[in-house]
C-alpha cells in the first residue's frame, strides 16, 4: 500500500500559511499529484477555504484547534480523506495558535499511522512581526519560538517588507532557535516544490518505519506487533527508555488478558483502556533522535 505524504503548515497568525498553501497547490497540480487539504481555523466561519479549488478534497475543522480540543474530529477527517480518495499528498494548514508537535501527534493516530508518511513541519515566520516580538506577551512569544523550534523547514516570509540588514538579523535569530533546520527567505510564500519535497527521504525499512525522515529532529516510529505483548515487559521498557521519547500511542493485545487495549503514554504516565473492538496491533512512538532498531528489538523481546 502506498503511503500518503503529509506536510504540516504552521506559523503564527497571518504569517502566510494560506498564501503558501495556494502556491503549493498550484505547483502540485502542475506536477500532476493527487492532493487533499485539511484546514483548521479558530473561528466559526470558513475563511480560507476559497484558497482551495473545488476539485481538491478538502476537510475543514472550524471553531477550535486541532492540537487542543479537536483531535478526535481531526483524526476522523484524515481517516475519511484516506478512505474516500487515492492520495499522493495531504497538506494540513494549522491555526496560527497551534503547537506543531501537537498537530504532528494528531496526524499519527494508530488508526492510520501506517498509511501516512509525515514528511515535515513547515513553519512560516512573519519577518516584520518577528522584529516586533517584544510587544507580544510572553506566552505568545513562546509559541512563536516553539513553532520555529520544531519546524523542519522555516520560511522567513514577507521579506519584501524587510531591508537586507533586517533579513540577515532575523535569519540569525531563527537559526539560533532552530540550529538543525533549514531557513529559506520568501516573499509571498513563493517556494519551489523541490524545496518542500527535499524534506523527503526514501523510507528505509518501510514496514518498521513510518513518518518523519532522518533530517528531522522530531521523529516517529511505528511498530506493528505480530503477537501479544507482555505487560510487565512493556512497563519495564517505559522505565528504561530514553526521556526523549515523548509520546506512545496505539493498540496492543496483552498476554494473559483478553481483548485489545488502547495504550496512551505521555509525560511519564501510561494509560490502558479496553477497546470494544479488535484494532490493528501497533504502537506509534514520537520523540527526538529515536533509535528505531533499539525500539524494534525491545518490542520484539516482549512480544509472545
Where do contacts with ligand GTP occur on this chain (CB under 6 A)? 11, 13-19, 48, 96, 157-158, 160-161, 187-189
Compute the distance between CA of residue 269 and CA of residue 247 in angstroms, rounded to an integer.
10
CB 137, min distance to ligand GTP, A: 17
Q: Judged by CB, which is closer to ligand GTP: 42, or 208? A: 42
CB 200, min distance to ligand GTP, A: 24
DSSP 229: B
Helix 71-84, helix 100-107: angle, nearest 10 = 50
Q: Judged by CB, which is closer to ligand GTP: 97, or 231? A: 97
Q: Judged by CB, which is closer to ligand GTP: 10, or 287? A: 10
Q: Judged by CB, which is closer to ligand GTP: 46, or 264? A: 46
CB 211, min distance to ligand GTP, A: 25
CB 205, min distance to ligand GTP, A: 36
Q: Judged by CB, which is closer to ligand GTP: 5, or 126? A: 126
Q: Which three cell numbers stand for residue 164?
A: 537586507
CB 57, min distance to ligand GTP, A: 20
89: Cα separation from own chain's centroid: 13
> Which alpha helices (H) appear in the chain, and where do they start and end?
17-31, 71-84, 100-107, 127-131, 138-149, 164-177, 193-197, 231-240, 292-301
Residue with cell string 506509534: 284
209-214 contact pairs (CB < 8 A, 24+): 209/292, 210/3, 210/113, 210/114, 210/116, 210/117, 211/108, 211/113, 211/116, 211/117, 211/118, 211/284, 212/104, 212/118, 212/119, 212/120, 212/152, 213/119, 213/120
For residue 297, CA distances in Å to 142, 225, 293 come to 37, 12, 6
Q: Judged by CB, which is closer to ligand GTP: 19, or 213? A: 19
CB 130, min distance to ligand GTP, A: 13
Q: Which three cell numbers stand for residue 195?
A: 524545496
What DSSP element (H or E) covers 91? strand 89-93
Q: Judged by CB, which is closer to ligand GTP: 161, or 279? A: 161
CB 117, min distance to ligand GTP, A: 24
Taking alpha carbons only, the member of 134, 172, 146, 192 closest to residue 10 is: 146
Q: Judged by CB, which is closer to ligand GTP: 160, or 300? A: 160
CB 186, min distance to ligand GTP, A: 6
Compute the distance between CA of residue 52 and CA of residue 71 in angstroms, rounded to an integer.
22
Amino acid at each position: 500500500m502506498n503511503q500518503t505524504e503529509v506536510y504540516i503548515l504552521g506559523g503564527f497568525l497571518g504569517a502566510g500559511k494560506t498564501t503558501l498553501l495556494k502556491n503549493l497547490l498550484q505547483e502540485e497540480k502542475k506536477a500532476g499529484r493527487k492532493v487533499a487539504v485539511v484546514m483548521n481555523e479558530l473561528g466559526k466561519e470558513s475563511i480560507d477555504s476559497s484558497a482551495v479549488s473545488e476539485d481538491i478534497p478538502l476537510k475543514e475543522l472550524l471553531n477550535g484547534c486541532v492540537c487542543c480540543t479537536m483531535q478526535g474530529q481531526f483524526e476522523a477527517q484524515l481517516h475519511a480523506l484516506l478512505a474516500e480518495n487515492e492520495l499522493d499528498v495531504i497538506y494540513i494548514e494549522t491555526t496560527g495558535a497551534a503547537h506543531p508537535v501537537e498537530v504532528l501527534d494528531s496526524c499519527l493516530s494508530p488508526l492510520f499511522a501506517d498509511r501516512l508518511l509525515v514528511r515535515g513541519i513547515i513553519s512560516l515566520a512573519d519577518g516584520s512581526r518577528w522584529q516586533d516580538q517584544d510587544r507580544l506577551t510572553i506566552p505568545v512569544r513562546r509559541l512563536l519560538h516553539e513553532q520555529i523550534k520544531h519546524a523542519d523547514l522555516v520560511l522567513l516570509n514577507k521579506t519584501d517588507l524587510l531591508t537586507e540588514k533586517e533579513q540577515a538579523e532575523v535569519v540569525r535569530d531563527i537559526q539560533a532557535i532552530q540550529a538543525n533546520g533549514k531557513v529559506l527567505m520568501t516573499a509571498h510564500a513563493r517556494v519551489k516544490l523541490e524545496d518542500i519535497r527535499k524534506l523527503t527521504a526514501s523510507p528505509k525499512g518501510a514496514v518498521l518505519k513510518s513518518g518523519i525522515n532522518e533530517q528531522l529532529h522530531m521523529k516517529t516510529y511505528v511498530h506493528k506487533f505480530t503477537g501479544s505483548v507482555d505487560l510487565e515487559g512493556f512497563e519495564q521498557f517505559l522505565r528504561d527508555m530514553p526521556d526523549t521519547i515523548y509520546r506512545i500511542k496505539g493498540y496492543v493485545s496483552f498476554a494473559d488478558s483478553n481483548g485489545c487495549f488502547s495504550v496512551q503514554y505521555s509525560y511519564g504516565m501510561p494509560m490502558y483502556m479496553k477497546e470494544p473492538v479488535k484494532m490493528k496491533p501497533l504502537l506509534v512512538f514520537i520523540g527526538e533522535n529515536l533509535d528505531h532498531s533499539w525500539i524494534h528489538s525491545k518490542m520484539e523481546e516482549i512480544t509472545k
